[in-house]
Chains A and B, each alone.
Chain A
Amino acid sequence: MTANTANSSRHVKQSRFMRKALPYILSLPALLMCIGILIPFFTAVYYSMLRYRLNLPQMKGFIWFGNYVNFFYDPSFWNTVYISLLYAFLTVSLELMLGLAIALLLQKPTRFNNIASILLLLPLMTAPALASLMWKLMTNPNFGILSYFAGLLGFHDFRWASDPSTALFTVVLVDIWVYTPFIMILLLAGLRSLPQAPFEAAALDGVPRSFVFFRITLPMLMPYIITASLFRLLDSIQQFDIIYSMTQGGPGDKLLVFQVQAYLDFFQSTNVGRSAALMIILWAITYFLSNIFIKQWLKLRERAHGAG
């Protein structure tokens, strides 16, 4: 043992440099990953200031905020903004109401409720692109079961996603099918983690249930509601998979949300500049929202890990 300490001076010494460098060495790959994201990000910022069409390379030139200025007079841009916001608003608000209702239905941790809540996760775990295909098969005008049901209800020749007047309804329905369980499962976890004392006191005092819901349950659940809704809003405003798989943005310009429009600008019109500018605008919106979201999310996270 004395020998141990004696030879310590030779190979047992750890260099101060290594000790200080360790955290940086461990996070180096993640840092490279960050840089790997930031390079294309800044490239996108740069592209958004270019007149840049892949099919007309000789036209390429730096035009500062030209692409953004053009948007201002471009009705198709405002259509994109309108459709994206409408889509996000409809999906998030409907999913929130439905998700909250289901979470309240399943609040008691009985065996049946637990199994139901697990089964309800299956749509969420289905790839949205594949979920769209499932709904496409079910809404096929020739044999789709939902078209048949619509016929039974008197809606003959209901065209679902291929009809401009019902296309938005159809994709919103698919979005609700996929993502309501997300809100449901977070709110259910929130509901079940609430302290029981206020509810017991209210029950003893015979407080009416509507009062308990609006004055106790809802306020205490609010952090979860805000986090889940913002999370959903961030995803919903940039929805691509469902809309692209269902209709590729059609019929006409009915479903040209931000990312679908940018995709078509890039690959069909090969207008890189416009596509990049669209993405930067969407990024600015999501960046603003994600800053609010992350604050809420950190609060919840602290709560979850503080208790552990």
Chain B
Amino acid sequence: MDHSSTFEKALRSALITLVLIFFLFPILWIFLMSLQTNETILRIPPSILFEPNLDNYRALITGKLQTTAGNLDIAFMRNLWNSVLLSTFSVALSLLLGVPAAYAFARFKFRLGEDIAFTLLSFRFAPPLLVLLPLSLYFKTLGLTNTYIGLIWVYQLICLPLILWIVRGYFEDISPDIEHAYRIAGNSWWKTFTRVAIPLARPGIAAAGLLAFIFAWNNFVFALILASADKQPVTVGALAFVTASGIQYGQIAAAIVLSVTPTLALALYAQRYLVEGLSMGAVKG
């Protein structure tokens, strides 16, 4: 069946290599940059020959940045911590709220359920500032500006539709007879939900949770508008750090590496579910 010639195979491999270089080079280059001092970074022409050191990371982790102008305190670790906190709690809340709702939408076909599911889906594609700008004024009145609770609540905008629609698909794939059998055997509705429905939908719940975590982590605009420096996650913090640290390029690169590593690691770990998550459950990988 395979008629492709050796030439064609070689061409294919060459093209794929080219594609890989384009998409992976930036990540690799920033990683190399993070291991260099400013002197080697500023060399012309650039070279990949240098003595790697971890000074940039050390500076970020200790929070002490030595510049020619003197010592500078940096709060980057605080941003990293905020990202962990915001993403983790957002996903946890989203699972807590979304999984039962997803179950309800999958099992009981009712009008209100469809309306909720589609409203949330439709706002997933609405411009976030549409909701965020009025919300920023409400948050001031409610005292929610620059609070973790306020941010976690807003993060539901990204996490909840994702979890709702992916997990719903998994619940729909479970035969209702299996749940009926468990109930008839003498178990309450709640027990059936927790002992049968949830374990059987677990792959979907895990996939949706991981994806939601990545999206929450990568979000930029929510915290840009609703949080000040001490509550900002890495996405906003890194930008502020660039402005504050000026020409400490090595540290900026190190900050970027620290910020993207968790999501890239999670993505590699969960790669089997990414297609399904990215398409909100419409395409199975």
Determine whether B29 belongs to the interface, using a CB cutoff of 8 Å to chain A.
Answer: yes
Asked if A116 is at the interface (CB within 8 A of a chain B CB), the reply is: yes
A40 contacts which of B135, B172, B263 (Cβ < 8 Å)? Answer: B135
Tell me the bound Cα distance from A269 to B101 in angstroms. 41
Q: With a CB–CB cut-off of 8 A, which chain B residues contact A244?
A: 220-221, 224
DSSP majority for the B interface?
helix
Q: A22-B189, A36-B153, A189-B285 are in contact. Are A126 and B130 (CB under 8 A)?
A: no
The verdict on A29 contacting B275 (CB below 8 Å), with A119-B24, A134-B30 known, is no
A63 at the interface (CB under 8 A from B): no
- CB-CB under 8 A from A308, the residues of chain B are 173, 284
Partner of A47, one of B33, B103, B134, B276: B134
A65 CB–B CB distance under 8 Å? no
Q: A293 and B235: CB pair below 8 A?
A: no
> B126 at the A/B interface (Cβ < 8 Å)?
yes
Q: Are B23 and A122 in contact (CB under 8 A)?
A: yes
Chain B residues near A133: list those with CB within 8 A. Answer: 238-239, 242, 252, 256
Chain A residue, CB-CB nearest to B26: A134
Residue B42 at the chain A interface, CB threshold 8 Å: yes
* Docked-complex contact B125 and A33, CB < 8 angstroms: no
CB distance from A174 to the nearest CB of B (A): 9
> How many angstroms between the C-alpha atoms of A33 and B163 in the bound complex?
14
Assembled-state Cα–Cα distance A234/B44 (Å): 42
With beta carbons under 8 angstroms apart, the residue of A22, A126, A287 that contacts B122 is A287
Judged by a CB distance under 8 angstroms, whether B72 is at the interface is no
Docked Cα-Cα span, A185 to B22, in Å, equals: 16
Q: Given A129-B235, A238-B127, A297-B282, verify A262-B133 contact (CB < 8 Å).
A: yes
Residue-wise interface mask of A (139-161) relative to B, using a CB-CB cutoff of 8 A (1 in contact, 0 not): 01011010010000000000000
With beta carbons under 8 angstroms apart, the residue of B110, B118, B239 that contacts A129 is B239
Contact: A125 with B23, CB < 8 Å?
A: no
B interface footprint on A181-218 (CB within 8 Å = 1, 0 otherwise): 11001100110010000001001000000000000000
Contacts of B10 in A (CB 8 A): none
Task: Assess whether A23 is in contact with B108, with CB atoms less than 8 Å apart.
Answer: yes
A279–B220 CB distance below 8 A? no
B134 touching A258 by the CB < 8 A rule? no
Chain A: interface secondary structure? helix
- Tell which of B46, B169, B264 touches A143, judged by Cβ atoms closer than 8 Å: B46
Instruction: List A contacts of B16 (CB < 8 A).
Output: 105-106, 112-113, 116
Total A residues in contact with B, Cβ cutoff 8 Å: 97
Contact B130 A44 (CB under 8 A): yes
Q: Are B120 and A34 in touch, CB under 8 angstroms?
A: yes
A259–B221 Cα distance when bound, in Å, is 10
Of A71-79, A163-171, A298-306, the stretch lying at the interface with chain B is A298-306
B19 within 8 A of A: yes
Asked if A120 and B19 sit within 8 Å, CB to CB, the answer is yes
A123 CB to closest chain B CB (Å) equals 5
Q: How far is the CA of A301 from the CA of B169 in the complex (A)?
A: 8
Given contacts A34-B120, A224-B283, contact A102 B220 (CB under 8 A): no
A30 contacts B160, CB within 8 Å?
yes
Shortest distance between the CB of A4 and any CB in chain B (Å): 9
- Asked whether A275 is an interface residue with its Cβ less than 8 Å from the other chain, the reply is yes
Instruction: Provide the residues of chain A in CB contact with B219, threshold 8 Å.
Output: 127
The contact string, 1 if C-beta is below 8 Å from chain A, for chain B 250-285, is: 001100100110011011100100111011111111
A41 to B224 alpha-carbon distance, docked (Å): 19
How far does the Cβ of A107 sit from chain B's closest Cβ, in whole Å? 10
Q: Are B271 and A135 in contact (CB under 8 A)?
A: no
* B interface residue numbers (CB < 8 A to A): 1, 3, 12, 15-16, 19-20, 22-24, 26-27, 29-30, 33, 41-46, 96-98, 100-101, 103-105, 107-108, 110, 112-113, 116-123, 125-135, 137-138, 153, 156-157, 160, 164, 169, 172-173, 189, 214, 217-221, 224-225, 234-236, 238-239, 242, 249, 252-253, 256, 259-260, 263-264, 266-268, 271, 274-276, 278-285
Rank and list the top 3 A-B pairs by shortest CB-CB distance, nearest first: A127-B218, A26-B104, A125-B267
5 extra interface residue pairs, beta carbon distance < 8 Å, beyond A27-B100, A127-B234, A279-B129: A39-B138, A125-B264, A134-B256, A186-B275, A283-B127
